[in-house]
Chains A and B, each alone.
Chain A
Amino acid sequence: MAEKGTSESIADSSKPNAGRIYDYLLGGNHNFEVDRMAAQQLLQLAPFTPQLFRTIRWFLGEAVRRLAADGYTRFIDFASGLPTIDHIHQVAPPGTKVIYSDIDPVTVAYGQEIIKDNPDARYLACPAGKPETLLASPVVTQLFGENRKVAIGFNGIAWFLPDEEIAHAMQSLHAWAAPGSRLFIADIDNTRSTPELKHLLTLYGKFGQPFHLRTLQGLEKLIPPWKVREPGFKPLEEWLEMKKIVAEKTEEFGGLFMGAILEK
C-alpha cells in the first residue's frame, strides 16, 4: 500500500484502513464496521479477493512451517499487515523470534499493540523496498543477538514495488544475512494473469496504488544473489497441496501467484 502521511490520524476509526480490511478478508476480528463496509465494496467488484488473500497468507504459513521444521528460529517479515490470522508468530513454534514490518504507520501502530505482550515479536516501520531501515534498527540485535541466520518473508509485496526497489531489497538483505539464510517470496506471474485479476488490479490502480506486474522470468532476474531452492517457483496452491481442492474456487487467479524459497 502507498505510504501515508504520518500526520494522518492513526487513531481514526472512522476511516477504513488497508491493514484492517486485509484482516477482515482473512477472517480476522481486528477490524471496524467501516473496514467491513469497505471490504464488502471490494468483494462486490472482486468476489475472489478473500480466497486470493488467504492463498497468499497460507503460503506464508506453509513456508514458515517448513522453515521452522528446518530449524529456523528468527524471522523477518516485510509488508506484514496486521500480525493476525495465521501470521508467523502464530504458525511457528513457541519461542520463534519474529520482526514484522510495514510501511503504513496505522498498521504499524496497531501491529505493535497486538503483539506487545509477546516477548518474541516486534513490529517496526519499514518500506519493503528499503530494508536497510529495519536492518539498521537496534531492535534487530536486541531480539536476534548477533545471529543473522534468518528466514525472511517477502510475501505478496513485490507487485507493489518497481524493479529497482526489489533488486535493491534483495541485494541489501543478502548482504546483511548470514550464509544459510532463507527468503520466501510470492508474486504474480503476469504471463498468466486472468481478465478478472486485471480488473481487480485496474480497480486498485484507481485508488492510487500503482502495480508493477512482471513475468516470472522478470522476477527471477531481480532476486540474485539469492538462489532459488528446489522445487523452484511453483503456484501457491501446489505449495499448499490444495491444487485439487481449491481449483474450482480459484479459477479466476489459480496458478497465477508463484512462490519460492530462496537461499544464501
Chain B
Amino acid sequence: MKRADELLRAKGDSLAGSLVALLRETVFDNRYSLHPRRLAGLGAEIADSLIHGLETSDPTGARALGEKLALEGLGEKNALRVAARVRRFYASELGATPRTIDELDDGVEQWASALLEGFMASREGQILKDQEQLRRALSTALQSQSAELLVKNHAIDTSINGILLADLDDKVTWVNSSFLRLWGYESAAEVQGMHIGEFWIGEEAQRIIGLLHSPNGWHGELAARRRDGTAFGVELSASLIVDQEGRSIGIMTSFMDITERKRLQAQIMQVQKMDALGQLAGGIAHDFNNLLTAIGGYLQLLLLDAPRDTPMHQDLMQMKAAVDRGTGLTRQLRFFTRQATGKRHIVSLNDVARETYEIFHRTFPPDITMELRLAESLCTIEADANQMSQVLVNLCMNARDAMQEGTGRAGGGRLTIETTDSELSAKDARLYVNGRPGRYAVLRVADSGIGMPPELLEKLFIPFVTTKGERSGTGLGLAVVYGIVASHGGFIDVQSEVGRGTTFAIFLPLSARAETGQDGAPAAAPARGHGTILVVDDEPQVREVICRVLTGCGYAVIPAASGLDALTRYARSGEIDLVILDVMMPGMSGRECLARLLEANPRARVLITTGYTSDGSAEELLAEGAMGIIEKPLEIAVLAQKVRDALGNGAACPGA
C-alpha cells in the first residue's frame, strides 16, 4: 500500500500535467469562470485530492472537489474525462504493481465515484435551479398572454360589429354577441355548424362566398337574412385566417348593420335635393314676386282712376284677382323655400291641433273617423300660428285624400291627430337627418289610407309633384309643409307602407319663452302725408309703382336705381325725410347702402322693402338702424301706412 502511494505521489506531477493538458484540450467545454489561467492549478489540485483520498480512504474530499469543480464551471464532459484520465493514469502507471493493485484499484474507483457524485449533485442543483427559472418564465409569460387573450376576447365579443368565424367548408365555428343580436338568434349553439350562405340572400351572395377564400379577402355590401326571414343590409369585411405556417385554416367575417346608414344617406340626399330645389324655386319666386308687385301696383293705380261699375273696372278686378292668385302661389313657394317666416309667437300646438280637428271633424266625410289625442302637458312652441295651421290642414287634406274613394280602395278610414312631448338624446337625434338633441313638441298625423311606395316617399316634398291628378292638388301642399317646418327649425319623419297608411311626425323645438299671447295689430288705415322720400329699387317697375303711390299720397319723391345713386342723391338733396330701400340690389347691397346712409346721417329714417324675411337679414337690418320692413309684393295701403308711421304726420290717403 505504502509503496503504491509513494509511487503515485512520485508521479503526481505527471498526473497533474496530464490533467492540465486534458483541460486545455477541452477548454471550450468549460465556462469562462474556469479561466485557462486557472487550469494549471486545477490539475495539481485534482492530483492532490486523489492522493489524499487514497491515503485516507475518505471520499469526502473527492466529493467536495467535485462540487467545487461544478461551481467553478467545469463542463460535464470534462468531469467525466478527468475521472477517466485518472483511471487510465493509474492503469498505465501503477497497475503493474501486483501487491497493491486491488486495494488501489478500489481506492481510485472510490475517489472517482465520489468526485463525479459531488460534481453531478452540484450540477443537478444548478440544472434544477435553471430549469425552475425557465418554468417560471414560461408560466409568467403564459399568464400574461392569457390575460391579454381575455381582454382581446372581451373586445371581440362586445364589438358592435357582428363577427363570424367559419372553417374552410364555410361552416360556422364561432360568432360573437353582436352577430346573434343582428341576426336574431338566441345562442351561438344555434348557428354553429350552419353554412354561412344561410345568413345571406340572393345569387350574388353565393358568388361572394367563393371570393371570401381569396388571399385578399373581400369587402363590400350584402343583403342579409335574419332568423325570422326579414332582410337587412350589411357591410361585410372578410379575410382568411392563416396559421403560423401561412396555411389557410378558416375565414373571419365582420359585419356592420348598414340599414340606418343607408336610411340616413337617403335622407341626406333628399335634404340636399330639397335644398337645391328650394334655391331654384326661391329664385323664381323672387323674380315672379317682383313682376307681380309691378303688375299689382299698376293695377291698383288703374283701379284708383277707373270709375266703379264700369266694364273696365270689372276687367281690372278680374286681372287683380288673377294677380292675387299668382301672389298666393308665390307665397306658397316662398314657404317652401323658407323665404317667408311670418310672425313668431308663443303658440300652443294643442290649440292648433284642436282648432283644426274641430274644422275637419265637421267637414270630412262621415266614413272618416277622426281622433284627437292631445298631450296633457304639451309645452309651447315659438311659431307662426297660421303657418302651423296650414301645416296641419295640408297634412289632414292629404290624409283624407289617401282614404277617399277613387284611390283604388274602399273609402274611409281613421285619421288621428296626435301631439306629444319628446326629448331626443344624441343617439335618438341621429335617427333623423336634421335631428338635434333636445326637447320637441311632436305633431303626428296618421291615416289608414293607401300608403305610399318607397319611390314616392323619395320625392314627397318636391314642389309640383302630386298624385292627385289635374283635378285637385297643386303639388305644393307637402312642399309648403316642408318649408314651414324647416323654417321653424323642425324636421319631419314619414313612415308609410302601401296599404297600411301613412304617419307624418312633425318635430318642432319647444320654446324656452314663457310668455303667451299674440301681438300684431291689423295694419293702420292708408294715410296721406308730406315730406320728401328717396325710393331706392333696382327694378324700374317696382320703383315706379312706389313713387306713384307715394306721390299720390302727397309726398315728394326722389327715385334712385341703385345704392350708389341713392347715396349721391341723398347727399345732394339734404332735405330727404325718409328712404325706402330695397335689400336685394346688384352692386351696392341695401345693407351697405343703409350703413352708408346712417354713417352720413345717424338720424336718417330708412324703411326696408324685401321679399325675403326668413333668412334673418330683415331683422339684422332693423338691428342695424332701419326703422321698419315693408314686405313685397306691396300693398298700397300698407306702404302708405308704414310711410306715414315712419314720418309721424299726415292724414288718410284718398282712394288707397
Query: Are B127 and A29 neighbours in the complex by a CB distance under 8 Å?
Result: yes
Contacts of B144 on A, CB cut-off 8 Å?
10-11, 109
Most chain A beta-carbon neighbours within 10 Å: one of B24, B35, B131 = B35
Encode contact with A along B27-65: 1 for CB under 8 Å, 0 otherwise.
111011101110000000000000000000000000000
A181–B131 alpha-carbon span in the complex (Å): 36
Q: Judging by beta carbons under 8 Å apart, are A91 and B142 in contact?
A: no
A136-144, A171-179, A240-248, A254-262 - interface stretch: A240-248
A61 on the B face (CB < 8 A): yes
Do residues B130 and A30 form an inter-chain contact, with CB atoms below 8 A? yes
B194 within 8 A of A: no
Stretch from B133-141, B387-395, B613-621 contacting the other chain: B133-141
Bound together, the chains give a CA A29 to CA B27 distance in angstroms of 19
Q: Which of B35, B126, B141 has the most CB of A within 10 A?
A: B141
Within 8 A of B (CB), among A97-132: 109-110, 112-114
Using known A-B contacts A29-B130, A50-B28, determine if residue A86 contacts B33 with beta carbons closer than 8 Å: yes
Is B75 engaged at the interface, CB distance under 8 Å to the other chain?
yes
Evaluate whether A84 and B28 lie within 8 angstroms (CB atoms) in the complex, with A114-B137, A241-B36, A245-B36 already known: no
- A34 located at the interface, meaning its Cβ lies under 8 Å from any Cβ of chain B in the complex: no
Whole-angstrom distance between the alpha carbons of A245 and B33 in the complex?
16
B145 within 8 A of A: yes
Q: Is A199 close to B, CB under 8 A?
A: no
For the complex, what is the distance from the CA of A182 to the CA of B531, rounded to whole Å? 101
| Alpha-carbon distance A86/B73, docked complex (angstroms) | 9
Complex CA–CA separation, A213 to B27 (angstroms): 28
Q: In the complex, what residue of chain A is closest to B31 when comparing beta carbons?
A: A86
A5 to B144, CA, bound (A): 16
The minimal Cβ–Cβ distance linking A121 to chain B, given in whole angstroms, is 13
A191 within 8 A of partner (CB): no
Would you call A240 and B126 a contact (CB within 8 A)?
Answer: no
B133–A30 contact, CB under 8 A?
A: yes
Instruction: Find out whether the CB atom of A113 lies under 8 angstroms from the CB atom of B31.
Output: no
Whether B138 pairs with A11 at a CB distance below 8 angstroms is: yes
Question: Per-residue CB proximity of B475-505 to A under 8 Å, as 1/0?
Answer: 0000000000000000000000000000000
Pick from A13, A57, A249: contact of B32, CB under 8 Å: A57
A13: which of B31, B73, B138, B140 is its contact (CB, 8 Å)? Answer: B138
Q: Which residues does chain B contribute within 8 Å of A44, judged by CB atoms? A: none
Whether A242 pairs with B75 at a CB distance below 8 angstroms is no
B130 touching A84, Cβ below 8 Å:
yes
Interface size on B, residues (CB 8 A): 26
Task: With a 10 A CB-CB cut-off, give which of A32, A84, A113 has the most chain B CB atoms.
Answer: A113
> Which of B33, B130, B137, B142 has the most C-beta atoms of chain A within 10 angstroms of its own C-beta?
B137
State A61–B130 Cα separation when bound (angstroms).
20
Instruction: From A9, A58, A113, A242, give the contact of B137 (CB < 8 A).
Output: A113
Chain B, range 117-164, C-beta contacts under 8 Å to A: 126-127, 130-131, 133-134, 136-138, 140-142, 144-145
Contacts A109-B137, A241-B37 hold; do A54 and B126 have CB atoms under 8 A apart? no
Chain A positions within 8 Å of B136 at CB level: 113
Contact indicator per residue, chain A 46-89, by CB within 8 Å of chain B (1) or not (0): 00001100100110011000000000000000000000111000
Inter-chain contact A113/B36, CB cutoff 8 Å:
no
Instruction: Give the residues from 247 to 279 in chain B that come closer than 8 angstroms, CB to CB, to chain A.
Output: none
Once A29-B130, A110-B137 are accepted as A-B contacts, the answer to whether A91 and B36 lie under 8 Å apart by CB is: no
Contact of A27 with B by CB under 8 A? yes
Of B24, B36, B75, which contacts A240 at CB under 8 A?
A: B36
Flag if B134 contacts A30 (CB, 8 Å). Answer: yes
Q: Provide the residues of chain A in CB contact with B141, threshold 8 Å.
A: 10-11, 109-110, 113
Q: Does A28 contact B (CB under 8 A)?
A: yes
**Whole-angstrom distance between the Cβ of B15 and the nearest chain A Cβ:** 20
Contacts of B32 on A, CB cut-off 8 Å?
Answer: 54, 57-58, 61-62, 85-86, 91
Q: A9-B145, A29-B126 are in contact. Are A110 and B33 (CB under 8 A)?
A: no
C-alpha gap A90/B130 in the complex (Å):
14
Chain B, residue nearest A61 (CB): B32
B24, A245: Cβ atoms closer than 8 Å: yes
Contact B27 A245 (CB under 8 A): yes
Which residues of B in the span 91-137 have a Cβ within 8 Å of any Cβ on A?
126-127, 130-131, 133-134, 136-137
- Chain B hits for A54, CB < 8 A: 28, 32
The answer to whether B27 touches A110 (Cβ under 8 A) is no
How distant is B481 from chain A, measured CB to nearest CB, in Å? Answer: 58
Closest to B27 in A: A245
> Which residues in B have their C-beta under 8 angstroms from that of A245?
24, 27, 36
Chain A residue contacts of B140, Cβ below 8 A: 109, 113
CA distance A9 to B31 in the complex (A): 31
CB-CB contacts below 8 Å: A3-24 with B: 9-11, 13
Inter-subunit contact A249/B137 (CB<8 Å): no
A57→B33 CA distance, assembly (Å):
11
B28 touches A10 (CB 8 A): no
B114 to chain A, nearest CB (A): 24
Residues from chain B with Cβ under 8 Å of A84 in the complex: 130
Q: Could you tell me if A27 and B130 are in contact, using CB atoms closer than 8 angstroms?
A: no
For A50, what are the chain B residues with a Cβ–Cβ distance below 8 Å? 28
0/1 per residue, A31-52, Cβ < 8 Å to B?
1100000000000000000110
Chain B positions 202-260 with a Cβ under 8 Å from a chain A Cβ? none
B75 A27 Cβ-Cβ under 8 A: yes
Say how far A115's CB is from chain B's closest CB, in angstroms. Answer: 9
A246 in contact with B27 given A109-B141, A241-B37 (CB within 8 Å): yes
State the CA gap A84–B73 with chains docked (Å): 13
Q: A11-B141, A61-B32, A113-B137 are contacts. A249–B27 as well, Cβ < 8 Å?
A: yes
Contact A91 B33 (CB under 8 A): yes
Q: Quick check: A29 and B145 within 8 Å, CB to CB?
A: no
Residues on A with beta carbons closer than 8 Å to the beta carbon of B35 = 240
A249 contacts B130, C-beta separation under 8 Å: no
Which residue of chain B has the shortest Cβ distance to A48 in the bound complex? B28
Query: A13, A29, A109, A112 — which one has the most chain B CB atoms within 10 A of its CB?
Result: A29
Residues of B within 8 A of A62 (CB): 32
**Whole-angstrom CA separation of A114 from B145 in the bound complex:** 18
Q: Which residues of B contact A57 (CB under 8 A)?
A: 32
User: Which of B28, B127, B133 is A113 in contact with, Cβ under 8 Å?
Assistant: B133
Cα-based distance from A111 to B431 in the complex (angstroms): 55
Known: A110-B134, A114-B137. A246 touches B33 (CB 8 A): no
Please name 16 pairs of A and B residues whose Cβ atoms are closer than 8 Å in the assembled complex, sorted by A. Answer: A10-B145, A11-B138, A27-B75, A29-B130, A61-B32, A84-B130, A85-B31, A90-B33, A110-B134, A110-B141, A114-B134, A240-B35, A240-B36, A242-B27, A245-B36, A249-B28
Can you add 6 more A-B contacts, CB < 8 Å, to A61-B32, A109-B144, A112-B137?
A27-B29, A27-B75, A61-B33, A110-B134, A114-B137, A246-B28
Instruction: Give the 10 A-B residue pairs with the shortest CB-CB distance, closest first.
Output: A113-B137, A29-B130, A11-B141, A86-B32, A61-B32, A11-B142, A58-B32, A110-B137, A10-B141, A29-B127
